[in-house]
A and B are shown apart, each in its own frame.
Chain A
Amino acid sequence: MTKEATKNILLRLDPELAERLQTVASVEGRSVSDVAREAIAALVDRRRQDSRFSRLLEENLARHEESLRRLRGDD
């Protein structure tokens, strides 16, 4: 992972949540961004474990694999 590939987290947080993140970050000696990223990743993991969502995604990617492979890149 290159440094350029990392996007900043600019999610709008309510003050109470931001304060809780700040507390966790300072106790664990990490940046707020790190803690927020980890929390978001945990929620994404849960989404990926949703069987219907995953099944539809896998079916989609399999059905359109060839078309997706031939798409031009824009990066």
Chain B
Amino acid sequence: MRYLGVYDVLAVAARVLRCDSEDAVRRTDLDAVERVLNDVRLTAGLAEGAGVLLAGLVRARAFSGANRVVAVAVLLQFVTLNQADLRLEPVDELDDLLDRISADETDRHEVAGFIQARIEHHGLTAGDLYEHLRLDLLLEDEVETLHTDWQSRGEAMFERFNAEARRAVVVAQEEARSLDHSFIGTEHLLLGLIEEGQGGVAKVLSDKGITAPAVRYLVVEIIGRGAHKAGGGHIPFTPRAKHALEQAYQESRRLGAEQLGPEHLLLALLHDGEGVAAQVLSKLGGELDKLRDRVEQWIDRRQRTEAVVTDMLAEDPSTWTTYGRRHHLVHELNAVLDENERLHEQVARLRDLLRKHDIDPDS
């Protein structure tokens, strides 16, 4: 999910109100916008996020002059940035909803339902595919250089990257480009891991409040944006980022994994305590060692889950009455293991809470 930042919202407000940026800042309740955007980051799906965004902005009357139009324009931009479109017609129904939001006569579920019924998701266009392919090809040049480098040392590292880890590296390059940076650093790899968003790594991070907008904000604060628009050409890795990729390879080997996944990349970023990514993680997520423990606990649980499922699938098929029953049991087992993982996380949160109140959870 692509979340909006305060500057995105202000840019939309300035355009809709046809005023300059400074005027838009004057006419916007920044504190209210920040609160609403933080609430949006706590949501799961696009419709729910869009509902919280619209209801929050309308209710807070965040924009002086044409509040409703600006709020709807911000909503449209949010939906579009997430590869979808929103049908506003019939406008009377939308107006009725906005009236009820203003009067506090509706809840977030109703608003999310209203939006869900009007969202149209975009299919992939040829342009999207071209852009993706172009980025992949550009990245391939850089990866090829590294590949040759590692191969010359007899290490077939990139063959071990799984699909999610490869996507995270591609997204890292996109992130570098969007910040006008002419290099891929550890901070872009971190953003790539979060935005790639598959699996437990992004969840471990988001549980600690480490979201893409928060990371981007700190990256801009620490190193700023690039002075010039990054071109469409080759973007090299920084030496520290190269080292992080090597470290991720070592982490995957240490943990006996067959493939290098996003979790190993994150462990590598945590291992390097001085990179920009580590600084950002430390600022947002607290102690790096504790974060590392959480990631390793997640990896451990995932490995045990996979081992149980693999063992079950390897059993003598004659012990299964029918394919349907086997399929059903595997599904059930996965559900139980997922629930187990969820409970583990809840227990960990409760233990943290007890410690915060100076209560030893093991006493």
Contacts and interface: CB of A to CB of B under 8 A. Distances in A.
B22 interface: yes
A7 B28 CA distance: 6
Contact of A46 (B6, B7, B29): B7
A6 B26 contact: yes
Contacts of A6: 26-27, 64
A74 interface: yes
Contacts of A9: 25, 30-31
Nearest to B225: A46
Contacts of B98: 71-72, 74
How big is chain B's contact interface, by range? 35 or more
B284 interface: no
Interface string A56-68: 1101110110011
Given A41-B25, A68-B88, A71-B95, A48 B68 contact: no
A30 to B, nearest CB: 13
A27 interface: no
B342 to A, nearest CB: 32
A5 B65 contact: yes
A73 interface: yes
The residue among B7, B34, B99 with the most chain A CB atoms within 10 A of its own CB is B7
Most chain A beta-carbon contacts within 10 A, residue among B16, B25, B76: B25
A68 B89 CA distance: 10
B46 interface: no
Given A11-B34, A45-B21, A70 B26 contact: no
Contacts of A63: 85
Interface of A: 1, 4-12, 37-38, 40-48, 50, 53, 56-57, 59-61, 63-64, 67-68, 70-75
Interface of B: 6-8, 10-12, 14-16, 20-31, 34, 58, 61, 64-69, 72-73, 76-77, 80-81, 85, 88-89, 91, 94-95, 98-99, 102, 178, 225
7 contacts: A1-B27, A43-B7, A68-B88, A71-B69, A72-B68, A72-B95, A74-B61
Q: Sort A-B residue pairs by CB-CB distance and give the 8 closest, nearest first.
A: A10-B31, A44-B21, A67-B88, A41-B22, A41-B21, A5-B64, A47-B11, A44-B10
